[in-house]
Homo-oligomer: A and B are copies of this chain.
Amino acid sequence: MENLKDYLEANKDKYLNQLLEFLKIPSISADSAYKNDVARTAEFVAGNLRDAGIENVEICPTEGHPIVYGDKIINKNLPTVLVYGHYDVQPPDPLDLWDSPPFEPVIKDEKIYARGASDDKGQAFMHIKAVENMLANDALPCNVKFMIEGEEEVGSMNLYPFCEANKEKLACDVILISDTSMIANDTPSITTGLRGLAYMEVEVTGPNRDLHSGVYGGAVGNPVNILSKMIASLQDENNHITIPGFYDDVEVVSVEERKAMNEAPFDVNNYKNGLEVKEIHGEKGYTTLERTSIRPTLDVNGIWGGYIGEGAKTVLPSKAYAKISMRLVPHQNSDKISELFKKHFESLAPESVQVNVTAHHGGEPVVTPTDSLEFKAASMAVEKTYGKKPIPQRSGGSIPIVPFFEKVLGVKTVLLGFGLDSDNIHSPNEKYGLFNFYKGIETIPYFFKYYTELKQG
């Protein structure tokens, strides 16, 4: 594999420049104003797959944004790796907190700053380049398929029917995804679990119009005050979630597993300093590492109502809104939790307001076994290039499509992410280290090699 390393070394600048072009296109899937940019990004991905030597590349239209597919089948008797990634990105706001424009990537301190640098353009791009390297050096040891979608950040709603309808086309032995992070560049880890998600939107309506707070204040239910009370009551003084039945299906993690989990390197002072908070905050009885992996959570992701401009306006608003999401753990079910939330939230409303609760996309939690052949291959690949055995670690995030893939395609997933928690994904100043980008391209071919060897027996 030495020639692969040399080849990467010789093409580093070219790959980086290509990634910067990728990052310049504002593929914001959540905002319909960017529909054409998202389409342009799909074409960029397709072009790069073709240039890498991938065959049967197609831009598959959906009711939303397109899915880019491509494959290279070298021998039907060899195993097949399906690479999944996404080329869409989160909205960049709040824009004023970015040090440089989100779609004008800059390199600073050996890191690429741009929306999507880590999540997931940078990480998906590593796979295209890794396969390009293997093909250029005649070193692809098995078959590969690519499925890079454009709606991950909005719930992958069109990927589900696409997978159902294309089981044959997508048939594979393992799914490989780089859309997660490691503990640190000198502490490699592999993600062995993801939380699920239930994402709700609530609307509280008081009077039928905005009112003068002097004329009506004190006599009419204020939807903002009432929404605040309703949200406040969703967690008790120990930060336990109060929705009846919410914890019914939560997996009880053994004392041993919790002990092992808490042996991962973690410094609470570094954590607090990095976030500039005086105190951490979470469910009583659990550590930070547990709170962000094996425990479900509830966070308001957005709230708005009334006058939010400059200065003062003495209005008693007609409406107040919030986006509220819950991260779920095995064996909670997204639809069931959404239903429990809706029922409970509606029951909290006093007679003076009306409440409307709707569910955005959700997803199921997933845990991947550490004793499987594919996990071993990933572990060996990381150990080879990082010089250290990776630590298995459950992530707090969600990739709702993963449990679905496993069900529909009947195979397991390897979550081989190369990012860091400090990459500011979904935040201003998202970044991705050059080290991580190149290390990914170097490591991925080893996964292909070890996986094929182990699979072949």
Contacts and interface: CB of A to CB of B under 8 A. Distances in A.
A165 interface: no
A4 interface: no
Nearest to A237: B229
A325 interface: yes
Interface in A176-223: 181, 195, 197, 199, 201, 206-222
Contacts of A280: 219-221, 352
A307 B288 contact: no
Contact of A351 (B154, B279, B296): B279
A359 B351 CA distance: 32
A213 B326 CA distance: 9
Nearest to A279: B351
A31 B309 contact: yes
A283 B225 CA distance: 14
A52 interface: no
Interface string A126-151: 00000000000000000000000000
Interface in A284-326: 288, 291-292, 295-318, 320-323, 325
A302 B297 contact: no
Given A283-B218, A301-B313, A327 B213 contact: yes
A351 B278 contact: yes
A313 B282 contact: no
Contact of A275 (B220, B300, B308, B395): B220
Contacts of A427: 209-212, 315
Interface string A117-133: 00000000000000000
A445 to B, nearest CB: 28
Contact of A309 (B93, B215, B308, B310): B93
A155 interface: yes
The 10 A-B pairs of least Cβ separation, nearest first, read A214-B397, A218-B297, A221-B281, A279-B351, A302-B306, A232-B232, A281-B352, A224-B300, A228-B231, A208-B276
26 contacts: A91-B307, A91-B309, A197-B214, A199-B312, A209-B275, A210-B427, A212-B397, A213-B297, A214-B327, A214-B395, A218-B282, A219-B280, A219-B282, A219-B292, A221-B281, A225-B231, A225-B299, A225-B300, A228-B231, A278-B352, A280-B352, A300-B306, A301-B306, A306-B323, A312-B360, A313-B323
Given A97-B210, A301-B317, A302-B317, 11 more contacts: A32-B310, A207-B275, A210-B426, A213-B327, A219-B288, A221-B277, A225-B232, A231-B232, A301-B316, A303-B303, A312-B360
